Amino acid sequence: MKRSEKLYQITSLKKGVYLVNFDELMNTEYKTTTNILLVETGKRIFVCDTYLGKSYLEKVFGELWNDFQDREYVVFNSHAHWDHYWGNSFFLKHQIIAHNLCYQAMQRSFLVDYQRNQNLAQENIELCLPNLLFSKKIVFPVEQVEVFYTPGHSEDGISIFFLKHGILFAGDNLEYLIPTYCDFSKGTIKYQETLKHYLKLEAEIYVPGHEKVLSQLEVKQNLKYLDDVQNGIIDKYLDDKYFKKHKTNIL
């Protein structure tokens, strides 16, 4: 896909914290916008997810920082779904962090996902795997950043909490109005525990992988939906446009 127009919006959430919302998937079968989060801490920049390729990122980083090529980046892949990590190659010389299961899932799914969605890339995408893996938690004490395992939307999910800013990047574990849930058959207990943990953190801003940022109230709404699914109470959602979208979601 070759496009020259600007199809993203940069919002400053706090000083040095930028939400980038991309529009490319709105006019496709996926019908959603996609977020990455950038947090500047001195010379180092933390990057939550890398979207659809380095061409998209070059435009964004060039707009934000004249010296972006000389910066040190720490990159997080929230999970192994293609729309969240195709831009990894932009950060070849930097740390790319993910869960052990994410690394394995990328190896399994990359070729199939690329064959299906390559029309959404602006260049040839090569598989660029994470180079630092973990199983439970990683802490950056100087920058006050915590990264931890949070299964839910997918088994390999991680979340990133910027304590200093009160901002949690949740990947696809959260979404407005109810969360995407790809497989009801496995139940929701792990997913529920993840969202309960989010609420205990008492973040000021919760950034999902798609659509608008959320408050604690909306996280509670996501959890209530999962509680209802776990208890078999879904009749009241059947005519809801969000339920119909998320029941068939494949992102």
Residues of the chain with pLDDT under 70: 1-5, 182-185, 242, 244-250
Cβ count within 10 A of residue 226: 22
> According to the model, what pLDDT value does residue 2 have?
41
147 beta partners: 138, 160
Answer whether 53's CB lies under 8 Å from 76's CB.
Answer: no
Distance, CA of 149 to CA of 151 (rounded, Å): 6
Give phi and psi for 12, each to the nearest 5.
-85, 110
Residue ranges making up the domain that contains 176: 8-247
- State the CATH number of the domain containing residue 211: 3.60.15.10
Whole-structure pTM value: 0.94
Q: What's the pLDDT score for residue 183?
A: 65
Confidence (pLDDT) at 48? 99
Looking at residue 232, what is its pLDDT? 84
Q: Tens of pLDDT along 207-224? A: 999 999 999 999 999 999
In a domain, 30, yes or no: yes
Q: pLDDT at position 248, please?
A: 57
The verdict on residue 3 lying in a domain is: no
User: What pLDDT is recorded for position 49?
Assistant: 98
Flag whether 1 is in a domain.
no
The residues, ordered by sequence, that sit 6+ positions from 58 with a Cβ below 8 Å of its Cβ are 90
- Does any domain span residue 59? yes
Mode of pairing for the β-strands spanning 17-22 and 44-48: unpaired
According to the model, what pLDDT value does residue 3 have?
A: 42
Q: What are phi and psi of 42, to 5 degrees?
A: 70, -130
Residue 2 included in any domain? no
Domain count, the chain: 1
Encode pLDDT of 109-159 as tens digits.
999 999 999 999 999 999 999 999 999 999 999 999 999 999 999 999 999
